[in-house]
Structure 1
Amino acid sequence: MRFTTISVAAALLVLTVSSSLSAQRPDNQLDPRSVELVRQARGAQAAGNLGGANDLLETALAVDPRNREAFVLIADIARAQNLPGKAIRFYGEALKLDPNDLAALRGQGEAMVAKGAMTRAKDNLAKIKTICKAGCAEATTLAATIAKGPPPTPVAANDAATKDVAKP
Protein backbone atom coordinates (compact mmCIF):
# COMPACT_ATOMS: atom_id res chain seq x y z
CA MET A 1 0.00 0.00 0.00
CA ARG A 2 2.86 2.40 0.85
CA PHE A 3 4.48 1.83 -2.56
CA THR A 4 1.25 2.69 -4.35
CA THR A 5 0.90 5.99 -2.44
CA ILE A 6 4.45 7.01 -3.35
CA SER A 7 3.90 6.04 -6.99
CA VAL A 8 0.73 8.12 -7.17
CA ALA A 9 2.47 11.09 -5.53
CA ALA A 10 5.40 10.83 -7.98
CA ALA A 11 3.05 10.61 -10.94
CA LEU A 12 1.18 13.71 -9.75
CA LEU A 13 4.48 15.57 -9.32
CA VAL A 14 5.59 14.68 -12.86
CA LEU A 15 2.20 15.71 -14.24
CA THR A 16 2.30 19.02 -12.35
CA VAL A 17 5.85 19.86 -13.47
CA SER A 18 5.22 18.94 -17.10
CA SER A 19 2.02 20.98 -17.27
CA SER A 20 3.69 24.00 -15.67
CA LEU A 21 6.59 23.79 -18.14
CA SER A 22 4.25 23.72 -21.10
CA ALA A 23 2.56 26.89 -19.82
CA GLN A 24 5.82 28.89 -19.85
CA ARG A 25 6.48 31.42 -22.59
CA PRO A 26 9.30 30.84 -25.06
CA ASP A 27 12.50 32.75 -24.32
CA ASN A 28 11.91 35.25 -27.12
CA GLN A 29 8.61 36.47 -25.64
CA LEU A 30 9.14 39.11 -22.99
CA ASP A 31 6.54 40.07 -20.42
CA PRO A 32 4.68 43.06 -21.93
CA ARG A 33 4.82 44.88 -18.59
CA SER A 34 8.62 44.75 -18.70
CA VAL A 35 8.66 46.06 -22.27
CA GLU A 36 6.37 48.95 -21.26
CA LEU A 37 8.60 49.82 -18.30
CA VAL A 38 11.61 50.02 -20.64
CA ARG A 39 9.63 52.35 -22.92
CA GLN A 40 8.83 54.57 -19.92
CA ALA A 41 12.48 54.45 -18.82
CA ARG A 42 13.59 55.69 -22.25
CA GLY A 43 11.26 58.66 -21.82
CA ALA A 44 12.60 59.40 -18.35
CA GLN A 45 16.17 59.15 -19.65
CA ALA A 46 15.40 61.53 -22.52
CA ALA A 47 13.95 63.98 -19.99
CA GLY A 48 17.19 63.82 -17.98
CA ASN A 49 15.66 61.84 -15.12
CA LEU A 50 18.37 59.17 -14.86
CA GLY A 51 17.35 58.11 -11.35
CA GLY A 52 13.75 57.58 -12.40
CA ALA A 53 14.84 55.73 -15.53
CA ASN A 54 17.08 53.51 -13.44
CA ASP A 55 14.22 52.68 -11.06
CA LEU A 56 11.92 51.80 -13.98
CA LEU A 57 14.59 49.54 -15.48
CA GLU A 58 15.19 47.73 -12.21
CA THR A 59 11.45 47.09 -12.03
CA ALA A 60 11.43 45.92 -15.66
CA LEU A 61 14.16 43.41 -14.84
CA ALA A 62 12.29 42.23 -11.75
CA VAL A 63 9.21 41.63 -13.93
CA ASP A 64 11.22 39.82 -16.63
CA PRO A 65 14.94 39.15 -16.10
CA ARG A 66 15.25 38.12 -19.78
CA ASN A 67 14.77 41.70 -20.97
CA ARG A 68 18.14 42.30 -22.63
CA GLU A 69 17.19 45.83 -23.70
CA ALA A 70 16.66 46.76 -20.04
CA PHE A 71 20.16 45.53 -19.16
CA VAL A 72 21.71 47.54 -22.02
CA LEU A 73 19.81 50.69 -21.10
CA ILE A 74 20.61 50.46 -17.39
CA ALA A 75 24.27 49.99 -18.36
CA ASP A 76 24.08 53.06 -20.63
CA ILE A 77 22.71 55.06 -17.71
CA ALA A 78 25.50 53.80 -15.44
CA ARG A 79 28.05 55.02 -18.01
CA ALA A 80 26.31 58.41 -18.15
CA GLN A 81 26.64 58.56 -14.35
CA ASN A 82 30.38 57.79 -14.64
CA LEU A 83 29.99 54.30 -13.14
CA PRO A 84 31.92 52.17 -15.66
CA GLY A 85 32.23 49.15 -13.35
CA LYS A 86 28.48 48.96 -12.91
CA ALA A 87 28.02 49.46 -16.65
CA ILE A 88 30.43 46.61 -17.48
CA ARG A 89 28.48 44.30 -15.17
CA PHE A 90 25.09 45.14 -16.71
CA TYR A 91 26.39 44.88 -20.27
CA GLY A 92 27.74 41.48 -19.22
CA GLU A 93 24.25 40.43 -18.15
CA ALA A 94 22.90 41.45 -21.56
CA LEU A 95 25.69 39.47 -23.23
CA LYS A 96 24.76 36.38 -21.23
CA LEU A 97 21.35 36.58 -22.92
CA ASP A 98 22.84 37.25 -26.38
CA PRO A 99 26.63 37.06 -26.74
CA ASN A 100 26.39 38.80 -30.15
CA ASP A 101 24.52 41.92 -29.00
CA LEU A 102 26.48 44.64 -30.78
CA ALA A 103 25.21 47.51 -28.60
CA ALA A 104 26.20 45.63 -25.44
CA LEU A 105 29.63 44.73 -26.83
CA ARG A 106 30.29 48.34 -27.87
CA GLY A 107 29.00 49.81 -24.61
CA GLN A 108 30.94 47.33 -22.51
CA GLY A 109 34.07 48.07 -24.55
CA GLU A 110 33.65 51.81 -24.01
CA ALA A 111 33.14 51.27 -20.28
CA MET A 112 36.29 49.13 -20.23
CA VAL A 113 38.24 51.97 -21.85
CA ALA A 114 36.95 54.29 -19.11
CA LYS A 115 38.30 51.83 -16.52
CA GLY A 116 41.62 51.58 -18.39
CA ALA A 117 41.05 47.94 -19.44
CA MET A 118 42.31 48.50 -22.97
CA THR A 119 43.08 44.86 -23.78
CA ARG A 120 39.57 43.75 -22.84
CA ALA A 121 38.09 46.63 -24.85
CA LYS A 122 40.12 45.51 -27.88
CA ASP A 123 38.77 41.97 -27.37
CA ASN A 124 35.23 43.38 -27.60
CA LEU A 125 36.20 45.27 -30.77
CA ALA A 126 37.58 42.07 -32.31
CA LYS A 127 34.34 40.26 -31.52
CA ILE A 128 32.28 43.06 -33.08
CA LYS A 129 34.42 42.91 -36.22
CA THR A 130 33.88 39.15 -36.38
CA ILE A 131 30.11 39.60 -36.14
CA CYS A 132 29.79 42.39 -38.71
CA LYS A 133 32.35 41.55 -41.32
CA ALA A 134 31.45 44.44 -43.63
CA GLY A 135 31.97 46.98 -40.87
CA CYS A 136 29.37 48.62 -38.68
CA ALA A 137 28.83 51.71 -36.58
CA GLU A 138 29.52 49.85 -33.33
CA ALA A 139 33.01 48.85 -34.55
CA THR A 140 33.78 52.38 -35.74
CA THR A 141 32.58 53.94 -32.48
CA LEU A 142 34.46 51.54 -30.22
CA ALA A 143 37.64 51.83 -32.32
CA ALA A 144 37.50 55.64 -31.96
CA THR A 145 37.02 55.33 -28.19
CA ILE A 146 39.97 52.94 -27.92
CA ALA A 147 42.14 55.28 -30.02
CA LYS A 148 41.26 58.18 -27.72
CA GLY A 149 42.20 56.09 -24.68
CA PRO A 150 41.01 56.29 -21.09
CA PRO A 151 40.09 59.66 -19.62
CA PRO A 152 42.81 61.38 -17.60
CA THR A 153 42.80 60.54 -13.92
CA PRO A 154 41.86 63.41 -11.61
CA VAL A 155 44.81 65.19 -10.02
CA ALA A 156 45.06 64.62 -6.27
CA ALA A 157 45.26 67.53 -3.89
CA ASN A 158 48.65 69.18 -3.72
CA ASP A 159 50.89 67.05 -1.49
CA ALA A 160 52.70 70.13 -0.19
CA ALA A 161 49.45 71.57 1.14
CA THR A 162 48.69 68.38 3.07
CA LYS A 163 52.19 68.30 4.62
CA ASP A 164 51.67 71.73 6.21
CA VAL A 165 48.68 70.53 8.18
CA ALA A 166 49.53 70.26 11.85
CA LYS A 167 49.18 66.77 13.27
CA PRO A 168 47.33 66.45 16.57
Structure 2
Amino acid sequence: MRFAPFAAALSLVFATAASVGSADPGEAEPRAAMLIAQGQASLEAGEVQAAIDAFEAALVVDPGYTPIFINLAEAARQDGLQGKAIRYYREALARDPGFLAAISGEGEALVEKGALEKAQRNLARLESLCGETCPETLALQARIAAGPPERLAAESTESETATN
Protein backbone atom coordinates (compact mmCIF):
# COMPACT_ATOMS: atom_id res chain seq x y z
CA MET A 1 0.00 0.00 0.00
CA ARG A 2 2.86 2.35 0.70
CA PHE A 3 3.98 2.07 -2.91
CA ALA A 4 0.57 2.75 -4.49
CA PRO A 5 1.03 6.57 -4.74
CA PHE A 6 4.53 6.11 -6.11
CA ALA A 7 3.34 3.53 -8.65
CA ALA A 8 0.49 5.81 -9.74
CA ALA A 9 2.88 8.76 -10.18
CA LEU A 10 5.35 6.61 -12.10
CA SER A 11 2.65 5.32 -14.45
CA LEU A 12 1.52 8.92 -15.03
CA VAL A 13 5.08 9.88 -16.00
CA PHE A 14 5.28 7.00 -18.48
CA ALA A 15 1.89 7.84 -19.97
CA THR A 16 2.89 11.49 -20.39
CA ALA A 17 6.23 10.56 -21.94
CA ALA A 18 4.50 8.24 -24.39
CA SER A 19 2.03 10.93 -25.47
CA VAL A 20 4.81 13.51 -25.89
CA GLY A 21 6.82 11.05 -27.94
CA SER A 22 3.91 10.50 -30.29
CA ALA A 23 3.42 14.27 -30.70
CA ASP A 24 6.39 14.39 -33.10
CA PRO A 25 4.74 14.25 -36.52
CA GLY A 26 7.56 12.35 -38.27
CA GLU A 27 5.62 11.21 -41.31
CA ALA A 28 2.04 11.82 -42.29
CA GLU A 29 -0.49 9.03 -42.03
CA PRO A 30 -0.76 7.17 -45.37
CA ARG A 31 -4.20 8.60 -46.20
CA ALA A 32 -3.01 12.11 -45.35
CA ALA A 33 0.15 11.60 -47.43
CA MET A 34 -2.02 10.61 -50.40
CA LEU A 35 -4.15 13.73 -49.97
CA ILE A 36 -1.04 15.93 -49.65
CA ALA A 37 0.35 14.48 -52.90
CA GLN A 38 -3.01 15.08 -54.57
CA GLY A 39 -3.01 18.67 -53.30
CA GLN A 40 0.52 19.30 -54.53
CA ALA A 41 -0.40 17.95 -57.97
CA SER A 42 -3.45 20.23 -58.05
CA LEU A 43 -1.34 23.20 -57.00
CA GLU A 44 1.19 22.52 -59.75
CA ALA A 45 -1.69 22.29 -62.25
CA GLY A 46 -2.92 25.71 -61.11
CA GLU A 47 -6.04 24.32 -59.44
CA VAL A 48 -5.64 26.21 -56.18
CA GLN A 49 -9.07 25.49 -54.69
CA ALA A 50 -8.73 21.75 -55.38
CA ALA A 51 -5.32 21.87 -53.68
CA ILE A 52 -6.73 23.68 -50.65
CA ASP A 53 -9.54 21.12 -50.40
CA ALA A 54 -7.05 18.24 -50.49
CA PHE A 55 -4.76 19.85 -47.91
CA GLU A 56 -7.68 20.60 -45.58
CA ALA A 57 -8.84 16.99 -45.90
CA ALA A 58 -5.30 15.84 -45.06
CA LEU A 59 -5.36 18.07 -41.99
CA VAL A 60 -8.59 16.41 -40.85
CA VAL A 61 -7.05 12.95 -41.34
CA ASP A 62 -3.78 13.83 -39.58
CA PRO A 63 -4.15 17.03 -37.51
CA GLY A 64 -0.78 16.49 -35.81
CA TYR A 65 1.24 16.68 -39.03
CA THR A 66 2.54 20.26 -39.01
CA PRO A 67 3.91 20.41 -42.61
CA ILE A 68 0.32 20.44 -43.91
CA PHE A 69 0.15 24.06 -42.74
CA ILE A 70 3.06 24.90 -45.06
CA ASN A 71 1.12 23.38 -47.96
CA LEU A 72 -1.98 25.37 -47.04
CA ALA A 73 0.10 28.54 -46.79
CA GLU A 74 1.64 27.99 -50.23
CA ALA A 75 -1.82 27.48 -51.72
CA ALA A 76 -3.09 30.64 -50.03
CA ARG A 77 -0.12 32.61 -51.41
CA GLN A 78 -0.83 31.35 -54.93
CA ASP A 79 -4.43 32.46 -54.43
CA GLY A 80 -3.21 35.97 -53.49
CA LEU A 81 -4.19 35.59 -49.83
CA GLN A 82 -0.91 36.49 -48.14
CA GLY A 83 -2.58 37.31 -44.82
CA LYS A 84 -4.13 33.86 -44.65
CA ALA A 85 -0.79 32.33 -45.64
CA ILE A 86 0.93 34.17 -42.82
CA ARG A 87 -1.66 32.78 -40.40
CA TYR A 88 -0.89 29.22 -41.59
CA TYR A 89 2.86 29.80 -41.27
CA ARG A 90 2.36 31.11 -37.74
CA GLU A 91 0.30 28.04 -36.83
CA ALA A 92 3.20 25.86 -38.00
CA LEU A 93 5.60 28.01 -35.96
CA ALA A 94 3.40 27.75 -32.88
CA ARG A 95 3.72 23.98 -33.15
CA ASP A 96 7.43 24.03 -34.03
CA PRO A 97 9.23 27.37 -33.43
CA GLY A 98 12.32 26.21 -35.32
CA PHE A 99 10.48 25.14 -38.49
CA LEU A 100 12.76 26.77 -41.09
CA ALA A 101 10.33 26.43 -44.01
CA ALA A 102 7.66 28.24 -41.98
CA ILE A 103 10.00 31.09 -41.03
CA SER A 104 11.15 31.51 -44.63
CA GLY A 105 7.64 31.19 -46.09
CA GLU A 106 6.25 33.72 -43.64
CA GLY A 107 9.05 36.11 -44.59
CA GLU A 108 8.28 35.70 -48.29
CA ALA A 109 4.57 36.30 -47.68
CA LEU A 110 5.46 39.42 -45.68
CA VAL A 111 7.50 40.71 -48.63
CA GLU A 112 4.52 40.04 -50.91
CA LYS A 113 2.41 42.17 -48.56
CA GLY A 114 5.06 44.91 -48.59
CA ALA A 115 6.21 44.39 -44.98
CA LEU A 116 9.93 44.36 -45.74
CA GLU A 117 11.02 45.27 -42.20
CA LYS A 118 9.18 42.29 -40.72
CA ALA A 119 10.59 40.06 -43.44
CA GLN A 120 14.09 41.24 -42.46
CA ARG A 121 13.38 40.01 -38.92
CA ASN A 122 12.52 36.58 -40.29
CA LEU A 123 15.76 36.65 -42.28
CA ALA A 124 17.77 37.47 -39.16
CA ARG A 125 16.03 34.64 -37.32
CA LEU A 126 16.85 32.21 -40.13
CA GLU A 127 20.48 33.31 -40.21
CA SER A 128 20.78 32.70 -36.47
CA LEU A 129 19.15 29.26 -36.70
CA CYS A 130 20.72 27.77 -39.81
CA GLY A 131 23.34 30.21 -41.08
CA GLU A 132 23.67 32.39 -44.14
CA THR A 133 23.97 29.58 -46.68
CA CYS A 134 21.03 27.32 -45.84
CA PRO A 135 18.38 27.07 -48.60
CA GLU A 136 15.66 28.79 -46.56
CA THR A 137 17.90 31.79 -45.81
CA LEU A 138 18.96 32.09 -49.44
CA ALA A 139 15.35 31.88 -50.67
CA LEU A 140 14.22 34.63 -48.31
CA GLN A 141 17.24 36.81 -49.16
CA ALA A 142 16.38 36.51 -52.86
CA ARG A 143 12.71 37.37 -52.24
CA ILE A 144 13.62 40.41 -50.14
CA ALA A 145 16.10 41.55 -52.80
CA ALA A 146 13.38 41.23 -55.47
CA GLY A 147 11.09 43.41 -53.36
CA PRO A 148 7.32 43.48 -53.25
CA PRO A 149 5.32 42.60 -56.37
CA GLU A 150 5.01 45.30 -59.05
CA ARG A 151 1.35 45.89 -58.20
CA LEU A 152 2.22 46.66 -54.58
CA ALA A 153 5.20 48.83 -55.48
CA ALA A 154 3.03 50.86 -57.88
CA GLU A 155 0.35 51.33 -55.22
CA SER A 156 2.87 52.59 -52.67
CA THR A 157 4.36 55.02 -55.21
CA GLU A 158 0.86 56.35 -55.99
CA SER A 159 0.03 56.82 -52.31
CA GLU A 160 3.33 58.65 -51.70
CA THR A 161 2.60 60.98 -54.65
CA ALA A 162 -0.92 61.66 -53.37
CA THR A 163 0.33 62.59 -49.88
CA ASN A 164 3.01 64.98 -51.19
Same fold flag (TM > 0.5): yes
Question: 1:35 aligns to what?
Answer: 33
Return the offset for 1:40. 1.6
Aligned CA distance change for structure 1 residues 23 and 126 (closer, same or farther; 3 Å): closer
Listed as ranges, the matches of 1:1-168 within 5 Å are 26-29=22-25, 30-133=28-131, 135-151=133-149, 152-153=151-152
Return the offset for 1:58. 0.7
Return the offset for 1:150. 1.9
Q: How far, CA to CA, are the matches of 1:115 and 1:134 in structure 2?
A: 24
1:93-144 superposed Cα distances (whole Å, 9 cap, x missing partner): 1112221222111111011111122221111101111111251122122112
Q: Say which SS state the counterpart of residue 66 (structure 1) adopts.
A: coil
Return the offset for 1:33. 2.2
Where structure 2 has 5 or more consecutive residues not aligned to the other structure, the ranges are 1-7, 156-164
Return the offset for 1:54. 0.5
| 8 Å Cα contact 1:88-1:111 kept in structure 2 | yes
Where structure 1 has 5 or more consecutive residues not aligned to the other structure, the ranges are 1-13, 156-168
* Residue correspondences, number: 139
Greater mean deviation of Cα atoms: 24-33 or 109-118: 24-33
- Matched letter for residue 126 of structure 2: I
| 8 Å Cα contact 2:69-2:91 kept in structure 1 | yes
Q: Percent of counterpart pairs with the same letter?
A: 41
Return the offset for 1:36. 2.2
**Higher radius of gyration, 1 or 2:** 1
Give the helix-richer structure, 1 or 2: 2
Return the offset for 1:76. 0.6
TM-score by length of 1: 0.71
1:21-80 superposed Cα distances (whole Å, 9 cap, x missing partner): 799680124433222211221122222221111001111112222222211011011111
TM-score by length of 2: 0.73
Structural RMSD (CA): 2.5
Question: 2:161 aligns to what?
Answer: none
